[in-house]
Amino acid sequence: MHEVIIDGHSLTIYDVVKVAREKAKVKLSESAIKNVKKSREYVDKLVEDERTVYGITTGFGKFSDVNISKEESKTLQRNLIISHACGVGSHFSEDIARAIMLLRANALLKGFSGIRLETIEALVALLNSGIYPAIPEKGSLGASGDLAPLSHMVLTLIGEGECYYNGILTSSKEALEKCGLTPVALTSKEGLALINGTQVMTAVGVLTVYDAINLVKLSDISASLTIEALNGITDAFLPVLHEVRPHKGQIDTARNFLSILSGSAHTTNQGKVRVQDAYSLRCAPQVHGASKDAIKYVIDKVNIEINSVTDNPIIVADEDMAISCGNFHGQPMALAFDFLGIALSELANISERRIERLVNPQLSGLPAFLTENGGLNSGFMIAQYSAAALVSENKVLAHPASVDSIPSSANQEDHVSMGTIAARKARDICFNVSRVIAIELIAACQAIDMNKEYKGRPLGKGSKIAYDIIREHIDYIDKDTIMYKEFEKAAKLIENNTIVSAVEKEVGCLYNF
């Protein structure tokens, strides 16, 4: 099985996916251990000297002016975890929980948190054992770190709370015993080091942006199939038109359409059938391209965050400093994930408009709702309803979370990011978009088969591959059937990256992120 070595500096989005979804084992880099030990030794000295340092010899938040004796430092850290485990709602999925543990271990390995090496090793052992904590989705303000959800992660580490083992919700104590693991007894600074960070919002966002990469490529393929079905005009995709407005995403999307549609006898040129196409076809490079550029921005921000120190205070042992700062604040991620949600929403917005053009006989020239015996059969009528409902829901979800802030801790923490809400919303939007595109894929193939005038003519080299994959799993619908089952078949092809991989192999990379 693939192994991911973490050092605090070189983790990638693809490494996170390998650990979170493919269950790759995690190993600590030997090069990082020296800094972890040095930082820990400095914390021990601060405690021994009883110097006033936030969260080490003081309380937390508004209680930062309450001094804590060295005898009470262990109790302080345990109390921090059990009091802060205030999450509510459904638990995060296994892949997100695993990503959370990985990202926190990677951040701690940078050697600026003052945690013991054995505590990081215990967190990684938990990850490698197949145990993942039961972490409620809701309850983080996204500043002072993801305090509540990360506290639930730490509960399992110390043998408290609940976790999942072999897919079954069980007590953390029992799961640790089954795996031969010993609960960690936290000492000075460790509770704070484990929960004061942005790893929950970032974990959700990393996996969402990874899925978005596949989805934004697939949107070019689904649009191409619709262009085939509606005999779209390809002149609008000529390079010269996009080079004079040189946004990278737009240029690359137009190129994608020409590559995917190359060799098609279903498409046409300006003036042959009509003068111009509707915006949902003609402006697809501009719309899809803008979303690609937005996703690229988010990827750049995520790559920084997954290898960053988001603790407080930050321990700089070489300079004899333990300084309180604001690196735990999730604003850089909050804005990025709000942007991600908006960018993804637009892919569904324009896809749904193409679905409408496919099913509406006044716009397509095809049988109403893509069914042969309309009236007796409803065909794709309610498929468009479902797509419209998902798009409408996305418009609500796309409202930015980052513009909101509620002061906390008696106004000591008077501006927060709501970044975890932004990440969760982006994840939910991503799911909705995948289902809208799934519907477009099926509807476009149905429309291609119903376009009798062009029947038997070759499709483009990329769209033909996509069409063949869809037809391998989803039959032409000649009479009403249970439609949600067909949607899920298409969704599975999306989740497995089947269509994008096959088309990219034939026509080249659809977008280089």
Q: What is the pLDDT of residues 44-76, one digit of tens each?
A: 888 888 787 877 878 777 777 787 777 787 888
Q: What is the DSSP letter of 459?
A: P
C-alpha closest to that of 429 among 454, 461, 396, 462: 396
* pLDDT value of position 406: 86
Please identify every residue annotated as catalytic. Answer: 54
d(CA 201, CA 334): 8
Residue 447 pLDDT grade (very low, low, confident, very high; cuts 50, 70, 90): very high
Q: What does the pLDDT average to over 263-283? A: 96
Helices marked H in 244-283: 248-260, 279-282
Would you say residue 346 has pLDDT above 90? yes
Q: What does the pLDDT average to over 299-318? A: 94
Structure tokens at 361: 């006989």
> How many Cβ atoms are within 10 Å of 367's Cβ, its own excluded?
18
* pLDDT value of position 79: 92
Edge-to-edge strand order for the sheet containing 162-165?
132-133, 162-165, 168-171
d(CA 477, CA 196): 53
> How many Cβ atoms are within 10 Å of 449's Cβ, its own excluded?
16
Q: Which domains does the chain have, with CATH numbers?
A: 3-197 (1.10.275.10), 205-507 (1.20.200.10)
Residue 1 pLDDT grade (very low, low, confident, very high; cuts 50, 70, 90): low
How many angstroms separate the Cα of 379 from the Cα of each of 87, 295, 417? 44, 35, 45
d(CA 460, CA 297): 31
As a whole number of Å, the end-to-end CA separation of the chain is 26
Cis peptide before 400 (omega within 30 of 0): no
d(CA 17, CA 10): 14
Q: State the angle between helix axes of 117-129 and 30-49 in degrees (0 to 180), rounded to the nearest 10.
A: 130
pLDDT digits (tens, 9 = 90+) for 84-128: 999 999 999 999 999 999 999 999 999 999 999 999 999 999 999
* pLDDT value of position 60: 76
DSSP 464-484: HHHHHHHHHHS---SS---HH
Q: Are 142 and 201 spatial neighbours (Cβ–Cβ below 8 Å)? A: yes
Residue 165 pLDDT grade (very low, low, confident, very high; cuts 50, 70, 90): very high
Q: Supply the pTM of this predicted model.
A: 0.95
Structure tokens at 436: 């809208």
Would you say residue 419 has pLDDT above 80? yes
DSSP 186-214: --TTHHHHHHSSSHHHHHHHHHHHHHHHH
Report the run of H or E that residue 5 belongs to, with start and end: strand 3-6
Would you say residue 184 has pLDDT above 90? yes
How many angstroms separate the Cα of 422 from the Cα of each of 265, 418, 419? 44, 7, 5
pLDDT digits (tens, 9 = 90+) for 209-244: 999 999 999 999 999 999 999 999 999 999 999 999
Helices marked H in 29-179: 30-49, 73-84, 94-108, 117-129, 147-157, 172-178
Structure tokens at 377: 């059969």
Three-state DSSP class for residue 322: strand
The letter for the amino acid at 91 is: H
Measured in whole angstroms, the distance separating CA 67 from the mean position of its chain's CA atoms is 41
How many angstroms separate the Cα of 80 from the Cα of each of 56, 73, 329, 438? 11, 11, 19, 45
C-alpha closest to that of 298 among 425, 214, 428, 208: 208
Q: Which residues are paired to 136 by β-bridges?
A: 91
Report the run of H or E that residue 337 belongs to, with start and end: helix 331-359
Would you say residue 29 has pLDDT above 80? yes
- Percentage of residues in the chain having pLDDT higher than 70: 100
Q: Which of 169-173, 403-407, 471-475 is predicted with the least confidence, judged by mean pLDDT? A: 403-407
Q: Report the relative pairing of strands 321-323 and 3-6 from DSSP bridges.
A: unpaired
Measured in whole angstroms, the distance separating CA 222 from the mean position of its chain's CA atoms is 21
- What mean pLDDT value characterizes the chain? 94
Q: Which residues are paired to 58 by β-bridges?
A: 67
Would you say residue 411 has pLDDT above 80? no
